[in-house]
């Protein structure tokens, strides 16, 4: 059974810092992995989607990497800003299904 | 263009009543997902529709829960004989095949 873990559960950093959020999964036979952000009272916004054949994806100040063999993904945020404050979630689909399994998220606060 | 629309945004009902939650996906998206997010919990997969294929209902927690998608577009999630443990935010997402999911803002369901 696929399980997704995110560490840390919460993180507080000063503005301008580079930071790394971690996601690990127990079954390496994944189809793809997505990183999302969720603002309070809102739905999720997809940030990056990495297919199982890819090693990383980049969008602006965000870079996500995928290491299937070790069951890990990282989300790197460069030059963090107060507007980056949100909960960040990762989710994976296991090959043969389109059912996404979500981690419980990392709650990020970037202090001005 | 319009995003994923969910209605109602809030629903308060008495234990034992039936409720219907509606999701209008982005036009042309073939995949539609329902998730449940309980306080302090991660996102829990409920059901997945893809085109004309049989839906993946493996996440529905009991036979009180059902969902349909009419004409490959609008979807309704129905909860019969609601219980207090059904209180949660119900999120809908849609996507093109193997593309990032787009989420609605959810329906916050409260069972008294």
Do residues A13 and A19 make contact, with C-beta atoms less than 8 angstroms apart?
A: yes
Helix (H, G, I), strand (E, B) or coil at A96: coil
User: Does the beta carbon of A41 lie under 8 angstroms from any beta carbon of chain B?
Assistant: yes
Tell me how close the Cα of B72 comes to any Cα of chain A, in angstroms: 17
Q: Under a CB-based contact definition with an 8 Å cutoff, are residues A15 and A31 in contact?
A: no
Q: Which of residues 60-79 of A touch B (CB under 8 A)?
A: none
- pLDDT (tens place) for every residue of chain B, 112 residues total: 589 999 999 999 999 999 999 999 999 999 999 999 998 778 999 999 998 888 999 999 999 999 999 887 999 999 999 999 999 999 999 999 888 999 999 999 999 9
Give the Cα separation of B64 and A79 in Å (integer). 47
Q: What are phi and psi of A84, to 5 degrees?
A: -80, -10
Tell whether omega for the bond before A8 is within 30 degrees of 0, i.e. cis.
Answer: yes
Q: What tens-digit pLDDT sequence spans chain A (112 residues)?
A: 899 999 999 999 999 999 999 999 999 999 899 999 999 888 899 999 999 999 999 999 999 999 999 999 999 999 999 999 999 999 999 877 778 999 999 999 999 9
CB distance from A91 to chain B under 8 Å? Answer: yes
């Amino acid at each position: 059974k696929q399980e997704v873990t995110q560490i840390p559960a919460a993180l507080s950093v000063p503005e301008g810092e580079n930071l790394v959020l971690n996601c690990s999964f127990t079954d390496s036979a994944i189809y793809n992995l997505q990183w999302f952000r969720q603002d309070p009272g809102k739905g999720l916004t997809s940030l990056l989607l990495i297919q199982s054949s890819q090693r990383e994806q980049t969008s602006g100040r965000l870079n996500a990497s995928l290491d299937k063999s070790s069951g890990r993904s990282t989300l790197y945020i460069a030059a963090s800003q107060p507007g980056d404050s949100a909960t960040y979630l990762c989710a994976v689909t296991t090959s043969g299904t389109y059912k996404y399994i979500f981690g419980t998220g990392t709650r990020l606060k970037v202090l001005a | 263009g319009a995003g994923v629309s969910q209605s109602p945004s809030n629903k308060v009902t008495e234990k034992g009543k039936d409720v219907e939650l509606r999701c209008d996906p982005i036009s042309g998206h073939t995949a539609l997902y329902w998730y449940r997010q309980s306080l302090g919990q991660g996102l829990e997969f409920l059901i997945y529709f893809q085109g004309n294929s049989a839906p993946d209902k493996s996440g529905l927690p009991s036979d009180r829960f059902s969902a349909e998608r009419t004409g490959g577009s609008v979807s309704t999630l129905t909860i019969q004989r609601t219980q207090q443990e059904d209180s949660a935010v119900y999120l809908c997402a849609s996507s093109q095949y193997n593309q990032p999911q787009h989420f609605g803002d959810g329906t916050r369901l409260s069972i008294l």
